[in-house]
Amino acid sequence: MIHASLKQLAAALTARRISSVELATLFLDRIERLNPKLNAFITVDRDKTLEMARAADALRAAGSGQVAPLNGIPLAHKDIFCTEGWLTTCGSKILSNFVSPYDAHVVAQLKLAGMVTLGKCNMDEFAMGSSNETSWFGPVKNPWNTALVPGGSSGGSAAAVAARLAPVATGTDTGGSIRQPAALCGLTGLKPTYGVVSRYGMIAFASSLDQAGPMARSAEDCALLLNAMAGFDARDSTSLERAAEDYARDLDKPLNGLRIGLPTEFFAEGMSADVRTAVEAALDEYRKLGAVTVEVSLPNSGLSVPAYYVIAPAEASSNLSRFDGVRYGYRAPEYGDLTDMYAKSRAQGFGAEVKRRILIGTYVLSHGYYDAYYLQAQKIRRLIANDFVEAFKHCDVIMGPTSPTVAFAFGAKSADPVQMYLSDIYTISTNLAGLPGMSIPCGLGAGGLPVGLQIVGNYFAEAQMLNVAHRFQQATDWHLRTAGLCE
């Protein structure tokens, strides 16, 4: 059952071939056995999980006709989502003792769907990182090769699904934090259009960029999970009030005549040869499926990394000011006065990368530098969004690599923050523009490691992107390849 799709798991539960308690126990036992090798989970509570599973079984046994399609299926949550009664740490020492008194909207929606929480997944501290090396709880290991990073910041969620410790997981994407770890771990991961999924209860990093999304083996599983996650939430001022969609509605639609835009900037220098080979082979497969490729240009995409690393830290410096040791979270054990308590609690509670970004953000928002840095970055952001508007006049979706390389070794980039930031060179622009994007496995590169193909759609084109991904996955088996720890 660990390799079953969501549809297959739902069918097995409906046919009483397995109970939710048995299914949850199967995954809990795998977590107990494999998590010490991977460090994918920060918190697991067997009693809470089995209580949810028993409630799901009882609902099915009642035969009320109100059983949701995903009822009784286990999932894992990135530890950035507030989850009532569960430790919610954001991968940081400063929240290492925080038990959330409420559920994030995403968590509540998935509870409403009857899904069973297996635990909370490890992540880069406050979602700041591309390798899952910044977590206070230690790095997550890539199930394909435990000497390599799984990507970040949703690396724990990616590793959990890749190692079949959970059928699906939630993630968040601020500059590629769903798509990049999905690529490095051989998964399908989707970042929806900004505002499609509520950010309520999702601990904020950069409010104008953060977006929650699904991580799973296949596009079909992502579509089913997104159906449950998406929806308007009045508690989130950035949540969009739109009619409910069935994101699985077009999965089997033929791709004849689909126009795939290939940005010249994505296929220039920077992409490793093995990634290029896999991506070009995937594009050939799409041509066989009836799609046509056209050249497009995103001339300002090269400015996305510097613009992002002005805007995101600026927003982070504001959002993280609430973690001061007063109301909740870590407080320094010894201090002189209130100001000293603030300073010591934050100095001891935040890690190096978080401190770096807070300092950058405070600097670019300070008097005399706001116009020179922050305002200019926002102007560049508008230019990047306009580039996509122009490109989509000539194509239906845009494709390219998700990450410039396959998974890399621990420590390979941690000494050079700029090199680490460039891991997201292909993903950041979609966050700046607020567009939907996803990554699907498209081949194997150096060392037999997964390569991700990125698909970017126009605003609210999630169903079309999922169709494009699903048809590829019907024709290939890259998404079915498993990591060594799955055997």
Q: Which residues are the active-site residues? A: 78, 153, 177
Query: What does the buried/exposed string (b/e) look like for 256-287 if buried means 16 or more CB atoms within 10 Å of the residue's CB?
Result: eebebbbbebbeeeebbebbeebbeebbebbe
Half-sphere exposure of 438 toward its Cβ, with a 13 Å CA cutoff? Answer: 34
Q: How far is CA 462 from the centre of its chain?
A: 15
Paired tokens of 267: 């296929």
What contacts 14, CB < 8 A, 6 or more positions away? 60
Half-sphere exposure of 85 toward its Cβ, with a 13 Å CA cutoff? Answer: 10
Across-strand partners of 169?
76, 215
Would the CA dihedral through 217, 472, 194, 92 be positive or negative?
Answer: positive
Residue 204 sits at φ, ψ, to 5 deg, of -75, 140
Q: Can you list the pairs that 419-424 forms with residues at least 24 positions away whose Cβ atoms lie under 8 Å?
A: 420/129, 420/130, 420/131, 421/130, 421/305, 421/309, 422/270, 422/305, 423/130, 423/131, 423/151, 423/176, 423/180, 424/130, 424/175, 424/176, 424/180, 424/305, 424/308
Task: State the SS3 of 38-103.
Answer: HCCEEECCHHHHHHHHHHHHHHHHHCCCCCCCCCCCEEEEECCECCCCCECCCCCHHHCCCECCCC
Question: What residue ranges in 87-153 does DSSP mark as E strands?
Answer: 116-121
d(CA 398, CA 451): 17
Nearest to 449 by CA among 461, 441, 437, 460: 441
